[in-house]
Amino acid sequence: MEARRWIWIVWPAFLAAAIMELVVFAFVDPLDMHWLGSPLEWSRSAIYTVAFFAFWVVSIIGALMTVALGRSASDLNGGIVSSPQPE
């Protein structure tokens, strides 16, 4: 994939991750979070950072799926589009 398409995927995903970070941590205190029943013993900054990158990865996966599903048959087959075989 060319660099321009990667920017089309990564930049909106970055913005979506930033918005998710703002929304989630407006209601959740990072120091009150638990993982598998025990409290996280990380600093607030570490939790914010890990959460941001997790949100970013999820957003990138969603954007990649959108791009993959939006490709045409000619894009996928290198410009070769075949007609159905007669029965």
- The predicted-structure confidence for 20-52, as pLDDT tens digits, reads as follows 999 999 998 888 888 888 888 888 889 899 999
The 8-class DSSP code of residue 28 comes to -
Q: Which is nearest to 54 in space by CA: 28, 9, 24, 31? A: 24
Give the start-end residues of each E strand in the chain: 34-35, 38-39
The range of the structural domain enclosing residue 18 comes to 1-24+44-69
Question: Considering the domain boundaries, does residue 12 fall inside one?
Answer: yes
Domain membership flag for residue 34:
no
Non-local CB neighbours of 51 within 8 Å, separated by 6+ positions: 21, 24, 25, 30
**Count of the separate structural domains present in the chain:** 1
Quick: pLDDT tens for 63-85: 999 888 887 777 777 767 666 77
pLDDT at 32: 82
48 located within any domain: yes
pLDDT band of 16, cuts 50, 70, 90 = very high
Q: Is there a domain that residue 74 lies in?
A: no
Residue 63 lies in a domain: yes
